[in-house]
Amino acid sequence: MYIEEYKRWLQTDLEDADLKPELSRIDGNDEEIKDRFAVALKFGTAGLRGVLGAGTNRMNIYVVRQATQGLANWVKTQGGTQTVAVSYDSRIKSDVFAKETAGVLAANGINVRIYDALMPVPALSFATRYYNCNAGVMITASHNPAKYNGYKAYGPDGCQMTDDAAAVVYDEIQKTDILTGAKYMSFASGVEKGLIRFCSDDCKEAFYKAIEDRQVRPGLCKDAGLKLVYSPLNGSGLVPVTHVLNDIGISDITIVHEQEYPNGYFTTCSYPNPEIFEALKSGLELAEKEGADLMLATDPDADRVGIAMKCPDGSYELVTGNEMGALLLDYICAGRIEKGTMPKNPIAVKSLVSTPLADAIADHYGVEMRNVLTGFKWIGDQILQLENNKEEDRFIFGFEESYGYLAGTYVRDKDAVIASMLICEMASYYRSIGSSIKQRLEEIYAQYGRYYNKTDSVEFPGLTGMDKMAGIMSELRENPLKEIGGIEVVKAVDYKDTASTGLPSANVLSYTLADGANVIIRPSGTEPKIKAYYTTKGKDLEEAKAQKEKLASALKPIFE
């Protein structure tokens, strides 16, 4: 079958000139043809994500059109404004895919609101809500390497699409021939017919205002003298992040020059993920040269942010997503109590794989902490439930350990723009009282205990990768772990069992050990990886790290 599909593509007059040479180049190479055509990219709640190129298992204009036709078929059953918001980041062909998306929607009689330049994930979520859209589409592959692109689909609340809606869209995609099944008109035609319109300046200004309204200590930054080095990692964060920071009074911003402007090849960091050192290396070097108080980097679609904080000896230390989640929660709680802006019965939300240190902090401040499945849509779902009860003001903060944060209900996905603002405000505040982020973090550890959180990922590439991952999870269920590294498992939770967890079914296994350590194992939802999340606690960092290494060594044979 895949050979026939390959030949069909080869014989079709393809509109994207980049695809034909690639198809010709693999002629006769069964392995390469199979890799591109034996399967199709699967549309789920995270949309699509794949390597750029020709074929059903690649990201190209035909896969985008097919997915959009499926989305359009769903939108047409939804009533409402019959409008979809579209945005895109700096990745290769992101602007092309965004216009293709708009063209298919317009051809189906659906109104489109598209940004006139690249804008990040939170701006797409905001526009979806601002224009009362039925759906939103963000063209991005988040922090994946340059060869990837993707297609994120959002529901009317600005949150990533629900399982039920995604299943309908997937069914509609299956009915749509990839090369001929999608209705399509050119972007120019859609504009001429009034079906495609750009997001207004009013929308952008409302987005910025919604963020700036969430300052904890308004006006503080103007006189704090914070010195910042910032890298947008060649992505979409440059304009919105600097706009907001300038508005709140942070003007001493040095941009990492080689990572300043959009560049989908990410030539200075092959993996533009602010979770990893290599992506922050150029920024760290510049921070040391400039003597900055803080170095900050946002990923290409500006929904995640990573930082390096200055230490008393002048060196810089990376802050993990768990540590920043704990720091921001602590800062927001203390600041809002001080300012009298803490709501009654406040709620914070985090993913269940994120640090239990945040639970301890929430408890200290009298905040209810809700733990949800991995994926920011579940944090968005908690906000929706509050909104339905007219209690959305109770939500003060949400985060996940993979560097995603949100304060406020104006969007329903993680937002590196507001996170950047709050991190800079927090740094300014501690600087103004003769302290620092580093000092406050040490105080938190002294108060609550020395937690250590580490995530290990094991990759399973190729067509057999997913099968191997499934086999590992099945084996763990059929032969439950009784101990890890000689330490007894005192509690095991299978998140597929909704009756015991009260949460939607998820392919996640959690183990609590006799010494208080915790291990969570789950396959990634977007990449061919199994992730193991370790939480250990010791009298100091060295003891906690040693305990983690002991557990990881014990589990290593399972993943081989």
| DSSP strand pairing (48-51 vs 148-154) | antiparallel
Q: What b-and-e string marks burial along 361-376, b requiring 16 or more CB atoms within 10 Å of the CB?
A: bbeebebebbbbbbbb
Handedness of CA 239, 290, 277, 279 (dihedral sign): positive
Q: What is the DSSP annotation of 460-498? A: --STTHHHHHHHHHHHHHHS--SEETTEEEEEEEETT-H
Catalytic residue among 90, 142, 236, 428: 142
Residue 142 catalytic?
yes
Two tokens, residue 451: 């937690």
Reduced 3-state DSSP string for 129-183: HHCCCCEEEEECCCCCCCCEEEEEEECCCCCECCHHHHHHHHHHHHCCCCCCCCC
**Residues sharing a CB contact under 8 Å with residue 398, sequence separation 6 or more, in sequence order:** 348, 349, 350, 376, 379, 382, 383, 405, 406, 407
Nearest-angstrom CA–CA distance, 296 and 543: 29
Name, in order, each residue with C-beta under 8 angstroms of 368's C-beta and a sequence gap of 6 or more: 345, 346, 347, 348, 362
Which two tokens mark 306? 């990573």
Whether 295 contacts 283, CB under 8 Å? yes
Report yes or no: 328 and 405 within 8 Å, Cβ to Cβ: yes
419 contacts 320 by C-beta, under 8 angstroms: no
DSSP letter assigned to residue 259: G
Q: Looking at this protein, which amino acid is placed at residue 522?
A: R
Antiparallel, parallel or unpaired: β 368-372 and 347-351: parallel
- Token pair listed for 150: 């993707």
The Cα 42–Cα 221 span in angstroms is: 45
Q: How far apart are CA 394 and CA 382, in angstroms?
A: 11
What is the C-alpha to C-alpha distance for residues 310 and 292, in angstroms, rounded to an integer? Answer: 7
Residue 515, burial from CB neighbour count under 10 angstroms (0-12, 13-18, 19+): middle
* Separation of alpha carbons 197 and 1, rounded Å: 41
What distance in Å separates the CA atoms of residue 40 and residue 56, rounded to the nearest whole number? 5
- Contact present, 515 and 534 (Cβ < 8 Å): no
Q: DSSP assignment, residue 199?
A: P
Query: Which residues are catalytically annotated?
Result: 142
